[in-house]
Amino acid sequence: MNTEIPLISVLMTAYNRENFIAEAIESVLSQSYHNFELIIVDDFSKDKTVEIIERFANSDTRVKYFINEKNIGDYPNRNKAASLATGDFIMYVDSDDSIKSNAIAYIVESFRKYPTALHSAIYYESDLIDPSVLCSDFAIRNHYFKNNSLAGGPGSRVFKKQFFDELGGYPEKYGPANDMYFNVLTTSKAPILMLPYPYLNYRIHDSQEKNNEFAYLYNGYNYLNNLISEGILELSKFEIKKLNKGNKRRFLINSLKLFLKNKDTQQIVFAFKKTDFGRRDFIDSLW
């Protein structure tokens, strides 16, 4: 790896993003840091997304694009994009977001200051001024019992490519919560570099997966339940018990809220089956 001017692989996955992707691509190509490749993987879009991608690829050799023969889904596509990367670092810029013009330069400079760091996250709290490395147990404890600081999506994270590959990339069984499992897993494996600069311009719109309350209901419960049962979290027995109880209570409350909103009994029954949430879990959540 060239520690002075490392190659950054910017990964962009797309599905029917004709209204946003041009701005996303332009934000990458306008970076003050120039040693990057932009890898775009379209997940069999049915609109003009590919036409827009091709226009940029024809005018800038740093843009490399691939088109899936069928739709494979969000996180399988993210992992495919990562498998195509040749850089020292990988970062995601979603096709409906954008980044500030000095984003990559800031990231590279931060890793240069902390060369042993294997991954980073945008830190949105006000108690850090400069980039700082947090040890694993502190960062996880801080996340679950203080400020939810590991909750950012893929666009808020940067990984050394080797570290990402060694962990097998994102899981693909937790739906929209795959990133949350991976955020905590990676932090448990290595101290995390917190970057107190919001270089990501995160776009909020109606077609985002984050709006899928039903999928988050059971996947959110399962990812944390599995982190606990797999012994990944370096927390005290008391903290694990508190976290477990909170997860069960949150699932129960959110199930009730979703039922009152949609009046869909089958939906809730499905969620309970997907989580294997039983009588004992119900009792534990109340006491």
Quote the CA–CA distance of 277 and 274 in Å, as a whole number.
Answer: 8
Range list of H helices, 67-193:
74-83, 103-113, 136-142, 161-166, 178-189
State percent of the chain over pLDDT 90.
Answer: 93
* 80 and 221 co-located in one domain: no
Mean pLDDT over residues 106-116, rounded? 98
Angle between helices 237-262 and 279-286 (to 10 degrees): 110
- Same domain for 160 and 236: no
Same domain (yes/no): 177, 226:
no
Q: Is residue 101 part of a domain?
A: yes
Integer CA distances (angstroms), 75 to 133, 251, 255, in order: 27, 23, 25
In a domain, 157, yes or no: yes
Confidence band for 4, pLDDT divided at 50, 70 and 90: confident
Say if residue 75's pLDDT is above 80. Answer: yes
| CB-count exposure of residue 5 (10 Å: 0-12, 13-18, 19+) | exposed
Average pLDDT over residues 257-262: 96
Residue 209's pLDDT is 67
d(C-alpha 5, C-alpha 201), whole Å: 25
Q: Answer whether 216's CB lies under 8 Å from 259's CB.
A: no
Question: Do the domain assignments include residue 18?
Answer: yes
Please report, rounded to a whole number, the percentage of residues in the chain having pLDDT higher than 70: 98
In terms of domains, do 139 and 164 share one? Answer: yes
Question: pLDDT per residue over 17-45, tens digit each?
Answer: 999 999 999 999 999 999 999 999 999 99
Residue 287 has pLDDT above 90, yes or no: no
Domain residue limits at 279: 210-286
Residues forming a β-bridge with 108: none
d(CA 81, CA 150): 22
Residue 67 lies in a domain: yes
pLDDT at 221: 98
Residues 6+ apart with CB under 8 A from 162: none
When pLDDT is cut at 50, 70 and 90, the band that residue 286 belongs to is: confident
pTM above 0.85, yes or no: yes
Question: Do 215 and 177 sit in the same domain of this protein?
Answer: no
Summarize the chain as % helix, strand, coil (round to 5): 50, 15, 35
Query: Do residues 138 and 194 touch, judged by C-beta distance below 8 A?
Result: no
